[in-house]
Amino acid sequence: MHDVRCREVVELVTDFLEGRMAVDRRDLFERHMAMCTWCQTYLDQMRHTLTVVGSLREDDVPAPLLDSLALAFTAEQANPTPKPL
């Protein structure tokens, strides 16, 4: 098994935060986090984003913005952006 790289952390952070990561993968993830200040900052930013977004009520977001977000999400689902190698 190889070490987790920064690019992989970005892809795995959701699974980590939601507790959906296999134990062996989580151990590698946490080892990387202990050494990489960039990824620590990224994880902190993601936690903060989830806290802020989770506190929003539907009335907090203007209807036109909700509509444009829904369109963007639908478009992305129809034509996903290729992940970099």
pLDDT in tens, 2-60: 567 888 888 889 999 999 999 988 999 999 999 999 999 999 999 999 999 889 888 88
Angle at 71 between CA 70 and CA 73, to 5 degrees: 65
CA count, 13 A, side-chain hemisphere, 67: 3
Closest CA to 3 of 47, 42, 39: 39
pLDDT digits (tens, 9 = 90+) for 56-82: 888 888 999 989 988 998 988 887 766
